[in-house]
Amino acid sequence: MQGSRDSGKYLLREASTEDIPGMLEVFNYYVENSFASYLETSVGPEFFQVIQSEKEQDKDESFPFYVIEENSKIIGIGALRPYFPFPNFRHTGVVSYFILPGHTRKGLGSKMLGKLCTEAREKKMKSLLANVSSKNEASLNFHLKHGFIECGRFREVGIKFGKYFDIIWLQKFLGQDEQ
């Protein structure tokens, strides 16, 4: 798959196993510094093992994992995965993405979400889900701005940095005319 450039500065493309060190840098930033990742300790390369296993599967059964790079440095990651791995749930996906600070509020999250929505439509998905910490106001606002609606909340189910947080589930229905 060919990547797409935004103003010649950023490249959005499919992730490869060679990208794992950069992907870890992005993800572990959020593990260590925010509520965007629920984990409390940094992860290693095995966390992104899904990329290798996806490459070995049939393209119709695989799910996309993307990176955003600037000057050959990974500054963002995004993925679409099934909500449940059962055939009767194949029309619902879950999206997640992380973009390093300093690169946010530049349209990259919107571009990543747009790419994931396109992939979801190609897989005949009808809706997308996202789960966000109640302490991650920027992500909540991003999703609401992009057509997601709150559809569930689990109160005080997680704790990080000594603070309890809710998990908020959001849903976006993928219309035929939407771009």
Q: How do residues 15-59 score in pLDDT, each as one tens digit?
A: 999 999 999 999 999 999 999 999 999 999 988 876 655 554 545
User: Which carries the bigger pLDDT value, residue 62 or residue 176?
Assistant: 62
| H-run or E-run covering 153 | strand 149-160
Average pLDDT value over all residues in the chain: 90
CA-wise closest residue to 77 among 30, 125, 147 = 30
Instruction: Name beta bridge partners: 12.
Output: 4, 68
What's the token pair of residue 160?
A: 């990080």
Residues in the chain: 179
Beta bridge partners of 68: 12, 76
Domain locations along the chain? 4-129
140-145, Cβ contacts within 8 angstroms, sequence gap of 24 or more: 140/168, 140/170, 142/109, 143/170, 143/172, 144/170
Percent of the chain with pLDDT over 90: 80
Q: Tell me how many degrees the CA angle 151-155-159 measures, rounded to the nearest 5.
A: 125
Closest of 157, 100, 169, 70 to residue 129, by C-alpha = 169
Has residue 14 got a pLDDT over 50?
yes
Q: Which two tokens stand for residue 165?
A: 């947080």
pLDDT at 4: 59
Whole-structure pTM value: 0.88
Write out pLDDT tens, residues 122-135.
Answer: 999 999 999 999 99
Residue 175 has a pLDDT of: 80
* CB distance 124 to 91 below 8 Å: yes
| CATH of the domain spanning 4-129, picked from 1.20.1260.10, 3.90.1200.10, 3.30.2010.10, 3.40.630.30 | 3.40.630.30
d(CA 110, CA 113): 5
- pLDDT digits over 56-108, tens only? 454 556 788 999 999 999 999 999 999 998 999 999 999 999 999 999 999 99
The per-residue pLDDT for 62 is 77
